[in-house]
Amino acid sequence: MKRNVMVGQSGGPTAAINASLAGIYITAKECGAKTVYGMLNGIQGLLEGRYIDLSEHVKDDLDAELLKRTPASFLGSCRYKLPAAEGNEEVYEKVFATLKELDIEVFIYIGGNDSMDTINKLSKYGQSVGSEIRFIGCPKTVDNDLALTDHTPGYGSAAKYIAISMKELIRDSFTIDFKQGMCTIVEIMGRDAGWLTGAAALSKDEDCDGPDLIYLPEVPFDIESFREKVKVLLAKKVSVVVAVSEGIHTADGTYVCELGNSVDFVDAFGHKQLSGTASYLAGYIANEFGCKTRAIEFSTLQRAGSHIASLTDTNEGYAAGRAAILAADEGKTGLMVVFERLSKHPYVCGTGLRDVDKIANDERVVPREWINEDGDYVTDEFLSYAKPLIRGELVPIMVNGLPKHLNVPDGLRERK
């Protein structure tokens, strides 16, 4: 690598996305890159000419360690969907003109499905106009729903946050023995894939019962069956805890949160913003049984909880960034870094590369056989899969009782 690198972050943040950025920056420098630019707010910011020189922010090894521990996307993010090249040539011309102007040799985009679509379109357009720029995708998503990879950086840390928080809230939930019992509904991220919700089961151990029921979006939700299960549990237990994915829906496709009329936002990709599932079900159970209920949403905390990030996850995030640069340095393009589980026991994971074409806009959900027959818990296979991903802690650098983060680049917090 002799010239420059452009890197961007896209979609929802994770606790490992900046570990990938650190891996990209450090490896690019090792490979001889002159300048590593970071686009602010992804491809959308690049189109507006907004980018920074990363060396002005990551000045030494301590900064690199802080970057790994900084939650959310250090460079900012976007949900901009690159239009098809045909008929929108001016957008592509603008991107490539900027990249040429900055003498870019390698373009890395850290993101999920939609971001891989961007890499796919840019690399294809690049080939069509004879560009030599290499486009590589670096995976990231708390949802763990990218195709052709064993798992995705960001998932392990969010799963760890969920498992720890579940342990703590379950313990809290039975301290008081309410007359009619108590039912807590915990809403967890995951529109179509239940990987994160399933992680609630990781809390189960000799010191914790784990949640009593777990509902993933992969199986249609039946409210009658749910009510009967809760009824039986309430008769036995002081506290019943149920983990539900934000995306659970009935057999006819109606989201449970829509039953409570809480859908109020559709994003740039046409995805419904789901929220209110826990609150709807808590109200339902309170009405049915007169018991105390609590609705808890982990909300953005589950993806931003870098103070308890998984060391396995952040190390793998770093490795994914490193692999992306090494692939580009070898002249490869149009690929995404993937993870391959080389051994289950002991857990060993390596990186590979796959055509981004085969990954973009595809979605990997929890296999039906990893969910029990009743559709209200995950199986031991799911647990064996997820357990190694939450191991170890990237210990925060604590200053005055708070985790220290790398300072925010100018231009991210102000309205444009």
Span 146-175, contacts to a copy of itself by CB under 8 A: 160, 163-165, 167-169, 171-175
Q: And the tokens for 68?
A: 């790994």
Closer Cβ to a copy of itself, 96 or 109, answer by number: 109
DSSP for residue 132:
-
Q: How far is the CB of 241 from a copy of itself (least distance, A)?
A: 11
DSSP class per residue in 238-283: SEEEEEEETT-B-TTS-BHHHHTT----B-TTSPBPP--HHHHHHH
Span 387-406, contacts to a copy of itself by CB under 8 A: 387, 390-393, 398, 400-406
Q: How far is the CB of 282 from a copy of itself (least distance, A)?
A: 10
Among 43, 78, 119, 142, binds a copy of itself (CB under 8 A): 78
Site string for a copy of itself, 29-68 (x = CB under 8 A): ------------x--x------------------------
User: How would you class 398 by CB atoms within 10 Å of its CB: exposed for 0-12, middle for 13-18, buried for 19 or more?
Assistant: exposed
**Can residue 209 be called a binding residue for a copy of itself (CB under 8 A)?**
yes
**Can residue 345 be called a binding residue for a copy of itself (CB under 8 A)?**
no
């969010």: which residue's tokens? 158
Inter-axis angle of helices 223-236 and 277-289, nearest 10: 60
Q: How far is the CB of 22 from a copy of itself (least distance, A)?
A: 16
DSSP for residue 327:
H
Q: Give the active site residue among 114, 143, 313, 376.
A: 143
Span 189-208, contacts to a copy of itself by CB under 8 A: 202-203, 205-208
Span 226-285, contacts to a copy of itself by CB under 8 A: 235-239, 264-265
DSSP class per residue in 182-214: EEEEEEE--SS--HHHHGGGGG-BTTB---SEE
**Can residue 365 be called a binding residue for a copy of itself (CB under 8 A)?**
no
One-letter amino acid at 151 equals H
Closer Cβ to a copy of itself, 202 or 219, answer by number: 202
Closer Cβ to a copy of itself, 262 or 372, answer by number: 262
Q: How far is the CB of 14 from a copy of itself (least distance, A)?
A: 10
Give Cα 393 to chain centroid, integer Å: 18
Indicate if 143 belongs to the active site: yes
Q: How far is the CB of 226 from a copy of itself (least distance, A)?
A: 20
Among 67, 82, 296, 394, binds a copy of itself (CB under 8 A): 296
**Can residue 306 be called a binding residue for a copy of itself (CB under 8 A)?**
yes
Report the sign of the C-alpha dihedral through residues 78, 79, 80, 84, in that order. positive
Specify the length of the chain in residues: 416
Closer Cβ to a copy of itself, 72 or 219, answer by number: 72
DSSP for residue 378:
B
> Would you call the peptide bond into 71 cis, given omega within 30 degrees of 0 as the criterion?
no
Q: How far is the CB of 299 from a copy of itself (least distance, A)?
A: 5
Which of 20, 11, 7 is closest to 313 using CA atoms?
20
- Annotated catalytic residues are 143
